């Protein structure tokens, strides 16, 4: 730890304690420092006002603190706020503040880009560049929470890991970020308010159950037969619907928690009566609820949005068959609301005039 520069937020509490001792400071400074990092949301060494200046200088010499910066925001007529965040090494990731009458939800990213190349997704066009670390994931929550206070005079009620990237392919940082968001010496939110959404990696779903993960789990299903799902989500080739079903049953048995399916309605592709029948069968087998999502078409993409009336008919069919299904209206149609769209479009352009929330 002593020679190389360390990202301070990559250290565990035990490592922070060891560093504090090594720098000749009193042990209680470790707790103070830890709270600045995770509870009091420090964005620079200067923020840590009750730590001695000399100690802060030593910390700055030995470690780095690399918070995300809000580089651009777009506000939709419907209140949705889309954010482009810049990482310390110059990449853009996206987060969204989604207001509804009962909730203020932050949709956050877990990776820069994504390796899974789902064909309906703008992020899939960006190659996976790297994982976000836990601090960078938490920063999105902190910064979107500030926007929630700024625009809606209240804090976030819910967090969904549904932005750029596949959280279960960045497992350790996802788990650590949830821990820091929920810890009493972190942001203090309830795990019941957090949903991690996966494209479907069977062995990692089992691992979540084995690790007793307490947050909600959502599966981005989008098609309930393998041929169709293979076409739009290449990850399905190694994680077939049958394998996913076994993993989800294992998960629900072990955690006693239901899962939710996310199902984007793509016009003429997965919104027929037969698709609804297949979805009913699959959702019944794992007792899943279904969120039907109105699609935000992406530039040059092959899919369109299902008409509202057809979406309602689809939902009513599920309802009649005993599947709890809600329609999630597409938000922010007047801005670059589809996941990955803002990053795709603006990555090199936003450095000038970027806004630092402090």
* Contact set with ligand SF4 (CB under 6 A): 114, 116-118, 121, 123-124, 164-166, 199, 339
Instruction: Please indicate whether residue 339 is annotated as part of the active site.
Output: yes
Instruction: Kindly tell me which of 6 and 115 has the beta carbon lying closer to ligand SF4.
Output: 115
Residue 155 region by backbone torsions, left for phi larger than 0, else alpha for psi between -120 and 50, else beta: beta
3-state secondary structure of 214: coil
Name the catalytic one among 107, 114, 121, 339: 339
User: What string of DSSP letters covers 56-105?
Assistant: HHHHHHHEE----EEEEEEE-TTS-EEEEEE-TTS-EEEEEEEE-SS-EE
Largest CA distance in the chain: 69
Burial of 246 (0-12, 13-18, 19+ CB in 10 A): middle
Nearest to 205 by CA among 173, 178, 245, 177: 245
Instruction: Kindly tell me which of 81 and 168 has the beta carbon lying closer to ligand SF4.
Output: 168
User: What string of DSSP letters covers 264-322?
Assistant: EEBTTTS-SHHHHHHHHHHHHHHT-EEEEEE----TT-S--BPPHHHHHHHHHHHHHTT
Instruction: Kindly tell me which of 6 and 117 has the beta carbon lying closer to ligand SF4.
Output: 117
Instruction: Kindly tell me which of 116 and 335 has the beta carbon lying closer to ligand SF4.
Output: 116
User: 136 and 84 in contact (C-beta within 8 Å)?
Assistant: no
Name the catalytic one among 25, 72, 73, 94: 94
- Interatomic CA distance for residues 184 and 40, integer angstroms: 12
Instruction: Kindly tell me which of 65 and 93 has the beta carbon lying closer to ligand SF4.
Output: 93
Instruction: Please indicate whether residue 262 is annotated as part of the active site.
Output: no
Residues known to be catalytic? 94, 339
């Amino acid at each position: 730890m002593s020679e190389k520069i360390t990202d301070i937020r990559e250290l565990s509490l035990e490592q922070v304690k060891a560093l504090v001792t090594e720098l000749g400071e009193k042990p209680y400074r470790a707790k103070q420092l830890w709270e600045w990092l995770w509870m009091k949301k420090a964005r620079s060494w200067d923020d840590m006002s009750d730590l001695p200046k000399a100690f802060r200088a030593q910390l700055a010499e030995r470690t780095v603190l690399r918070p995300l910066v809000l580089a651009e925001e777009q506000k939709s007529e419907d209140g949705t706020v889309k954010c482009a965040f810049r990482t310390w090494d110059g990449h853009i990731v996206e987060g969204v503040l989604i207001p509804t009458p009962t909730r203020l939800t932050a949709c956050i990213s877990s990776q820069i880009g994504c390796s899974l190349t789902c064909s309906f997704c703008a992020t899939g066009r960006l190659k996976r560049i790297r994982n976000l670390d836990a601090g960078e994931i938490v920063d999105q929550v902190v910064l979107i929470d500030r926007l929630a206070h700024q625009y809606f005079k209240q804090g976030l009620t819910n967090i969904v890991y549904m932005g750029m990237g596949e959280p279960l392919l960045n497992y350790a940082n996802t788990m650590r970020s949830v821990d820091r968001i929920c810890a009493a010496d972190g942001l203090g939110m309830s795990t019941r308010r957090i949903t991690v959404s996966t494209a479907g990696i069977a062995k990692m779903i089992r691992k979540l159950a084995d690790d007793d993960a307490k947050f909600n789990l959502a599966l981005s299903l989008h098609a309930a037969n393998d041929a169709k799902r293979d076409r739009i989500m290449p990850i399905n080739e190694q994680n077939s619907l049958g394998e996913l079903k076994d993993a989800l049953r294992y998960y629900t048995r072990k955690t006693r928690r239901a899962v939710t399916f996310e199902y984007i309605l793509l016009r003429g592709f997965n919104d027929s009566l037969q698709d609804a029948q297949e979805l009913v069968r699959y959702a019944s087998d794992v007792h899943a609820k279904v969120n039907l999502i109105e699609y935000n078409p992406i530039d040059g993409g092959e899919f369109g949005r299902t008409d509202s009336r057809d979406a309602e008919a689809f939902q009513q069919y599920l309802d009649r068959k005993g599947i709890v299904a809600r329609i999630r209206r597409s938000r922010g149609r007047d801005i670059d609301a589809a996941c990955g769209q803002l990053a795709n479009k603006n990555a090199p352009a936003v450095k000038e005039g970027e806004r630092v929330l402090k």
